[in-house]
Amino acid sequence: MATFTSNMCGIVGYVGRSQAAPILLDGLRRLEYRGYDSAGVAIVDGDHVEMRKCAGRIASLAKLISQKPAAGSYGISHTRWATHGKVNDENAHPHFDATGKIALVHNGVIENYQALKEQLIQNGDTNFRSDTDTEVLAHLIGSIYGQLEGKDSKARLVNATRAALKQVIGTYGIAVVHSDIPNFMVGARRGSPLVLGVGKDENFLASDVSAIVAHTRDAVYLNDFDLVALERDKFEISSIDGAVGQHAVSKVEFSAEDIKKGDYPHYMLKEICEQADTVRDAMRGRLTYEECTAKLGGLNMTPPELRDVARVVLTGCGTALHAGRVGEYLIERLANIPVEVEFASEYRHRNTPMTERTLVFAISQSGETADTLGALRESRRKGYRTLGICNNVASTIARESDGGVYMHAGPEIGVAATKSFTSQLVILTLIGLLLGRMRQLSTAEGKRMIDALEALPGQIEEVLKLSDQIKSIAKKYVDVSGMLFFGRQFNYPIALEGALKMKEITYLFAEGHPSAELKHGIIALVRPDLPSIFIAPDDAVLSKNLNNIEQVKARKGPIIAVTSGNGAKQLKDLAADIIEVPDVIDCLSPVLTVIPLQLLAYHLAVELGRDVDKPRNLAKSVTVE
């Protein structure tokens, strides 16, 4: 039985007058954050397709192409993140149909590929080279294309793609070319993102605008069940069912410059260092001193509707979920509304009792995470008003939600989420402030929050100055077997986030826990080669944290403390290393305390020689379940 090989990847297509190979390679480099297990291109040269593909990164593909160039002015390309099945040359995309004339790249999962494959085999098609679901789709399109009549080969390819997709159960963002049909490409999406870039005498397809923004800032964000036929100078979008639709061309918010590393060695460091600006951008124009509250017009809710909210659900995955966990404390503190935080992957499959007047927020940097999108759809299906907190403008979650708040953090390329996290924290604070000021929060308290928010960018600059100190600390701990992270209240989720950053880019074992949980089991792990990092600012629970720190110290566990205010003095004899951040009101401290943890993970990963921006086995945008 063939191995099931699905993918969660990046695709780029080009039809124009320039050589396709450099454009496709450059686009793939921009999408490498989506997956980096294998890569490939199919470029049409005259009447045949030149395929180059291999396991490994885009650099390996570029080397292959430099050794064996592929000429031609239209083609498709792919960078893969494998979920099941081997990472090898055969499973790399593109894939051909049985005739070798149709080439296809795919981002998604064809769930019924086995049944489709058996049907093709029964009809005599046995020429499969890979284990992939994608190759089955290429064969299916080819088989239908062969059966269709008519001289208009473009219409035949469109109709064959349409007919094949109607048989597919699963998700896809695809690009298809046929070597007999010059300068023509078909794209379609369902469940996986796909954007059309509109250029001058050239058009593009990509999983994400960052792949094409160097060539055009005019984009059409395709919807699920859209199919696009593109040529150099025109495109036509219709639905999989055949209905022709209207689509607006949008201006991409950022430029090619914004997605360059500049002088930074890694995107992650660049993005950590951008946080004073991104936090400022997250609140820009959203605070009002007159009423001491926040203005969030994108929520699309009237004051009576906001006042009527009786329960809030925050959902997301990974770092976005951790932001939600801080949001739980924040919104309950500021607005006194019960908040639940749900793993998107669990929430979407759970039978949660319906409670009226519930407002659901789906938090996602990319706006494309499959589990979060699934949670959003399930929540809307059940009738809840569901809002998005997204960074990527026009992403699927942003478009499918009833309203929301954009982060305006700019492109985040490093696989480890950093600046999006602090933007999410600011936005959740604004939501808490808005809901709070409609309830019990006084004008004075509202003003205090606004003052504290406005001071944050300057304080972040101060924290960033600690980078060298944190680098020296990282060097001291380069031989440890792992790290434990502890915090209380607003900083318990920061312990979770610190541990996630540490494990994902250093590959060290790391866990985050509420400080008080130590004595309920975790303390058994404490030993000299396993440092404990306490996030213990000078807040209402500092003395409680100090008790837990004493317990670790008594068992010879090394301690690194992130603290503020009087904390440093009290920790002097307890912690081996003290990282001191500026003092801030307790509910905003996570915005400052998380940055040293991002930097600690970063510097340790560099010391360990890890691939910081593309950690092993990971991808930035997780578009499979």
Distance CA 219, CA 209 (A): 8
Q: Contact at 8 Å (CB) between 335 and 432?
A: yes
Token pair belonging to 499: 């541990």
Task: Provide DSSP, 561-609.
Answer: EEE-TTHHHHHTTT-SEEEE-----GGGHHHHHHHHHHHHHHHHHHHTT
Q: For residues 72 and 193, which CB has a smaller minimum distance to ligand M6R in the complex?
A: 193
CA distances from 152 to 85, 149, 241 (A): 38, 9, 19
9, 292, 390, 587: the catalytic one is: 9
Q: Contact at 8 Å (CB) between 273 and 264?
A: yes
- The contact set with ligand M6R (CB under 6 A) reads 316-320, 364-366, 369, 372, 415-417, 500, 504, 621-622
CA nearest 13: which of 221, 171, 196? 196
Q: Contact at 8 Å (CB) between 152 and 158?
A: no
Confirm whether 501 is a catalytic residue: no
Q: For residues 489 and 623, which CB has a smaller minimum distance to ligand M6R in the complex?
A: 623
In the bound complex, what is the minimum distance in angstroms from residue 418's beta carbon to ligand M6R?
A: 8
Q: For residues 380 and 544, which CB has a smaller minimum distance to ligand M6R in the complex?
A: 380
CA 132 centroid distance within chain: 24
101, 117, 503, 620: the catalytic one is: 620
CA distances from 579 to 163, 500, 564, 595 (A): 61, 19, 8, 11
Q: For residues 509 and 525, which CB has a smaller minimum distance to ligand M6R in the complex?
A: 509
Q: Contact at 8 Å (CB) between 202 and 21?
A: no
CA 375 centroid distance within chain: 15
In the bound complex, what is the minimum distance in angstroms from residue 581's beta carbon to ligand M6R?
A: 21
Q: For residues 50 and 504, which CB has a smaller minimum distance to ligand M6R in the complex?
A: 504
Confirm whether 292 is a catalytic residue: no
List CB contacts of 358: < 8 A, sequence separation 6 or more. 309, 310, 311, 312, 313, 384, 385
CA 590 centroid distance within chain: 21
In the bound complex, what is the minimum distance in angstroms from residue 497's beta carbon to ligand M6R?
A: 8
Strand locations in 256-331 (E): 287-288, 293-294, 311-316
Q: For residues 254 and 469, which CB has a smaller minimum distance to ligand M6R in the complex?
A: 254
Token pair belonging to 439: 């309830």
Taking CB atoms, the residue at the shortest distance from ligand M6R is 318
Q: For residues 495 and 622, which CB has a smaller minimum distance to ligand M6R in the complex?
A: 622
- Helix (H, G, I), strand (E, B), or coil: what is residue 248? coil
In the bound complex, what is the minimum distance in angstroms from residue 423's beta carbon to ligand M6R?
A: 11
Q: For residues 16 and 414, which CB has a smaller minimum distance to ligand M6R in the complex?
A: 414
Phi, psi of 36 (to 5 degrees): -150, 40
CA 427 centroid distance within chain: 17
> How many Cα atoms sit within 13 Å of 58 on the Cβ side?
23
Q: For residues 216 and 366, which CB has a smaller minimum distance to ligand M6R in the complex?
A: 366
User: Could you tell me whether strands 509-514 and 559-563 are parallel, antiparallel, or unpaired per DSSP bridges?
Assistant: unpaired
List CB contacts of 470: < 8 A, sequence separation 6 or more. 579, 596, 599, 600, 603
* Kind and range of the H or E run holding 329: helix 318-335
List CB contacts of 72: < 8 A, sequence separation 6 or more. 19, 20, 21, 43, 44, 45, 46, 50
Q: For residues 316 and 531, which CB has a smaller minimum distance to ligand M6R in the complex?
A: 316
Token pair belonging to 524: 């058994």
Q: Find tokens 């400052």 and name the residue.
A: 592
Would residue 609 be called left, alpha or beta, if left means φ above 0 and alpha means ψ between -120 and 50 degrees?
A: left
Hey, which residues does 12 pair with through a beta bridge? 77, 206
In the bound complex, what is the minimum distance in angstroms from residue 234's beta carbon to ligand M6R?
A: 33
In a 10 Å sphere around its CB, with 0-12 CB exposed, 13-18 middle and 19+ buried, how is residue 619 labelled?
A: buried
Q: For residues 319 and 515, which CB has a smaller minimum distance to ligand M6R in the complex?
A: 319
Residues with a catalytic annotation lie at 9, 620
